[in-house]
Amino acid sequence: MPEPVLVALALGGNLGPVASTLRWAQSRLGRVLDDFRTAPFYRTAALADAPQPDYLNTAVLGRTVLPPDALLAVAKALEHAAGRRPGPRNAPRPLDVDLLLWGDLVLDRPELTLPHPRLRERRFVLQPLADLAPDLALPPDGRTVRELLKEVMEQRVERG
């Protein structure tokens, strides 16, 4: 059996009962990840041209033997079960689940890029991840979550 790999996922949403949807998604991910840990929720403004509700965001960390594509399929199934349907980028959604890291894997494919391509520029992703693993070194350069978070502190993120 393969050795379990450390993975990180970001969860967010801004439609419907977001906090309960995030807790539901966390519980589902806890069924497929070992050594499962969850971060607190953070409230952030939506990244959109048109006005929309603020997002609640969080992160989860765990270990899995699932390959990246299988974990991505779990994430997409959770989004669908929560009511998310295809739509424009940055549109309001009940649940967004992004695979941030899968061990030290660096991958660039149309359906999956690892680490997540915007992980390093978004405080709403780095802040909850820092609550779980501030000294986690990210591929490909080994910079830590804590170091990267210092570079985006001007972005508004409120514990919520």
Rounded Cα–Cα distance for residues 77 and 59 (Å): 17
Note the Cα 14 to chain centre separation in Å.
Answer: 14
pTM: 0.95
Question: In the prediction, which pLDDT does 160 show?
Answer: 84
Rounded Cα–Cα distance for residues 141 and 97 (Å): 24
What is the set of active-site residues?
Answer: 84, 93, 96, 98
Question: In the prediction, which pLDDT does 46 show?
Answer: 85
Question: In the prediction, which pLDDT does 86 show?
Answer: 80
- Provide the token pair at 143: 């910079």
Q: Which residues pair with residue 8 across a beta bridge?
A: 61, 101
Tell me if 131 sits within 8 A of 53, measured CB to CB: no
In order of start, what are the domains of the chain with their CATH numbers?
A: 5-114+123-159 (3.30.70.560)
Question: In the prediction, which pLDDT does 152 show?
Answer: 96
Element of type H or E holding 130? helix 123-132
- pLDDT tens for the chain, 160 residues: list them: 789 999 999 999 999 999 999 999 999 999 999 999 999 999 998 876 678 899 999 999 999 999 999 999 999 999 999 998 887 777 789 999 999 999 999 999 999 999 999 999 999 999 999 999 999 999 999 999 999 999 999 999 999 8
